[in-house]
Amino acid sequence: MAISFSDLHAGTGIKSLNEYLEGKTYVSGDEITRDDIKVFAAVLRKPGGEFPNACSWYESVSSQLAARFPGEAVGVIIAGQAAPPASAPAEEATKVCTGDDDDLDLFGDETEEEKKVVEEREAAVKASSKKKESGKSSVLLDVKPWDDETDMKKLEETVRSIQMPGLLWGASKLVAVGYGIKKLQIMMTIVDDLVSVDTLIEKQLTVEPANEYIQSCDIVAFNKI
């Protein structure tokens, strides 16, 4: 074959494969062979609709592997989601297709280019499996007491006593409201996926025992960090 593994890592390689498969069902003819398995293992993702021959070939090889190895991943990247490497299924599938019962090592004699593609594929699998770090937000709250007789020191202690993963209380100050009443303005930093400010207010800050000091809370500012 004139198509190299390194070529298949790029769009130009898929285009060449698509042209090569014109009028063919499989790489080496009308039946799947170990050549198809090797090329399939080198293709990092399903060819798009602009490559109909390669796309049809890919789906055919994929379905045959899936039928032979139900529940096994085929080791390529589809729509940005990575599946585990397919070296073991590929070896077994090669035996089935060729009738060769000898021990096969599909990549036993791989070239430096082939090794590089395998390494790049494994790196892509690892990169796609990493969780993206959750976003954070900075929130300014107004915490209002019941009246001018409310102990504001106790009120602040009550607010700061509420602890949960993803919540960090920051600076605070007392702001005069009128008639001798002051409210507490307090900053907090939250991890968006872990803390809901509305839930924090409704189920923590304005219920017992916190509501002994806190009459209500309002979100003054909410900014993504």
- 45 pairs with which residues across the strands? 77
**Domain boundaries defined on the chain:** 7-129, 136-224
Helix axes 52-68, 34-42, angle to 10 degrees: 110
C-alpha 12 chain-centroid distance: 28
Q: What is the pLDDT of residue 14?
A: 80
Q: How far is CA 167 from CA 117, 155, 162, 217, in A?
A: 43, 18, 9, 17
The structure tokens listed for 159 are 């607010």
Q: What is the pLDDT of residue 186?
A: 96
Q: Where are the beta strands (DSSP E) in the chain?
A: 77-78, 81-82, 136-145, 167-178, 181-191, 214-224
Mean pLDDT, consecutive 10-residue stretches, the chain (225 aa), reads: 54 79 82 82 80 86 74 44 42 42 46 73 66 79 94 96 95 92 95 94 94 94 92
Instruction: Answer whether 211's CB lies under 8 Å from 162's CB.
Output: no
Give CATH superfamily name and number for 136-224: Ribosomal protein S6/Translation elongation factor EF1B (3.30.70.60)
Could you give the CA distance from residue 196 to residue 216 in angstroms, rounded to a whole number?
17
Could you give the CA distance from residue 213 to residue 223 in angstroms, rounded to a whole number?
27
What is the pTM assigned to this prediction? 0.43
Q: What is the pLDDT of residue 190?
A: 95
